DNA sequence: AACAGCACCTGTAGGC
DNA sequence: TGCCTACAGGTGCTGT
């Protein structure tokens, strides 16, 4: 489940691996991995010399010297590999061969990932929010919120901030003591400030550790990340909170699992009394 | 308009 | 052992 730090790690390696190379041939093994017409995609790819490899949110962007621009979204199980290992062989979706004889394979067990061609770089990924790597950017986004949606759901909304997924949303909320069900517009100035500081700090630390490897994510050279050793709540349901020892709870918010320490992350006070955590209203701890 | 829920997919884990 | 079910979650679409 690659989020911003995992995609950034992949982009840095991909840049070293393919920049300056020309695509000599391309093979589509699973048609629906390509958005739009595979024939046109193929026509535009052939002969393209890779000028730039970049990241925008969770999208990988590849620009040709001729202005051709396409994106790769790995969704949940997508990977880019130079050499497919045995387990990858049944999951090859798209393969590129370069003029120097090297290959790049898009492997995706669950077939959710997509490659897409854009008219130009500027037209790609419309509607994506800003990159959450600077405190001021995140703070500005949080201050503009006028919704009662749970803050967890807002952090996952790519039109508000681009690149945060389930792992880092849970970790940032834990780090700031904010309960994921807190309505976004109910955050006070102090909470906004703390969250705006925590999100870039946590993402940058994860980039420094080459991302989080839980199930599927591996970098191009098949290395794992190391950030999973530094998670406080994600994937730790039932285990003791590393701050206070209270068992971590698992809730379901907007259809996704959320990990929360009920002691460290309190719901905001309402009417002078503590608002109850609505575990009984459609949310089920496991 | 805002939000919830589901489809897309398949590998894996756990129960029986 | 083998079958069945639940679960994983990013995005985009549909329904309320």
pLDDT at position A213 is: 76
Strand partners, A104: A96
- Through-space separation of residue A283 CA and nucleotide B12 C1' in angstroms: 24
As beta bridge partners, residue A258 has A251
Distance measured from the CA of protein residue A149 to the C1' of nucleotide B2, in angstroms: 9
Q: Which fold has domain A4-123?
A: N-terminal domain of MutM-like DNA repair proteins (3.20.190)
What is the per-residue pLDDT across A21-36, written as a single tens digit (0 to 9) for each?
A: 999 999 999 999 999 8
Classified by CATH at the fold level, domain A135-272 comes out as Helicase, Ruva Protein; domain 3 (1.10.8)
pLDDT tens profile A55-90: 999 999 999 999 999 999 999 899 999 988 888 888
Give the residue numbers of A annotated as catalytic, written as ranges: 2-3, 58, 256
pLDDT in tens, A81-123: 998 888 888 899 999 999 999 999 999 999 999 999 998 898 8
Domain locations in chain A as residue ranges: 4-123, 135-272
CA distances from A194 to A112, A189, A281 (A): 34, 9, 29
- pLDDT tens readout for residues A203-252: 999 999 998 877 655 666 666 788 888 899 998 988 999 999 999 998 88
Residue at shortest CA–C1' distance from B6: A255
Confidence of residue A269 (pLDDT cuts 50, 70, 90): low
Within 7 Å: CB of A250 and strand C? yes
Measured from Cα to the C1' atom, the residue closest to B9 is A110
What pLDDT shows up at residue A217? Answer: 57
How high is the pLDDT of residue A255? 81
Q: Is the CB of A256 under 7 A from strand C?
A: yes
Q: Could you check: is the Cβ of residue A26 within 7 Å of any atom of nucleic acid strand C? A: no
Report, as an integer, the average pLDDT of A254-258: 86
User: pTM (2 decimals)?
Assistant: 0.91
Average of pLDDT values for A189-204?
A: 95
CB-CB neighbours of A166 under 10 Å: 19
Euclidean distance between CA atoms A266 and A196, whole angstroms: 19
Question: Which pair of structure tokens corresponds to residue A93?
Answer: 């979706």
Give pLDDT tens digits for A135-192.
Answer: 999 999 999 898 888 999 999 999 999 999 999 999 999 999 999 999 999 999 999 9
| 8 Å CB contact between A92 and A107 | yes
Beta partners for A55? Answer: A60
């Amino acid at each position: 489940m690659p989020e911003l730090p995992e995609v950034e790690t992949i982009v840095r390696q991909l840049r070293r691996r393919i920049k300056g190379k020309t695509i000599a041939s391309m093979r589509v093994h699973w048609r629906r991995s390509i958005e739009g017409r595979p024939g046109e995609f193929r026509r535009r790819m052939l002969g393209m010399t890779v000028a730039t490899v970049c990241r925008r949110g969770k999208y990988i962007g590849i620009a040709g010297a001729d202005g051709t621009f396409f994106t790769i979204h790995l969704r949940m199980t997508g990977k880019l590999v130079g050499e497919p290992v045995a387990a990858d062989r049944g999951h090859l979706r798209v393969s590129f061969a370069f003029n120097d004889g090297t290959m790049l394979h898009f492997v995706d067990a669950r077939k959710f990932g997509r490659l897409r061609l854009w008219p130009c770089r500027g037209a790609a990924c419309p509607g994506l929010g800003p990159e959450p790597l600077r405190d001021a950017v995140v703070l500005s986004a949080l201050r503009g919120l006028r919704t009662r949606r749970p803050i967890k759901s807002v952090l996952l909304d790519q039109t508000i901030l681009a690149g945060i997924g389930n792992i880092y949303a849970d970790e940032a909320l834990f780090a700031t003591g904010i309960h994921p069900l807190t309505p976004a517009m109910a955050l006070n100035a102090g909470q906004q400030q703390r969250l705006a500081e925590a999100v870039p700090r946590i993402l940058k630390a994860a980039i420094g550790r080459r991302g989080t490897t839980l199930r599927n994510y591996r970098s191009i050279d098949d290395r794992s990340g190391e950030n999973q050793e530094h998670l406080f709540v994600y994937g730790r349901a039932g285990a003791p909170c590393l701050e206070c020892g209270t068992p971590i709870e698992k809730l379901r918010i907007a259809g996704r699992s959320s990990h929360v320490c009920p002691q460290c992350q309190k719901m905001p006070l309402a009417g002078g009394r503590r608002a109850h955590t609505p575990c009984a209203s459609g949310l089920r701890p496991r």
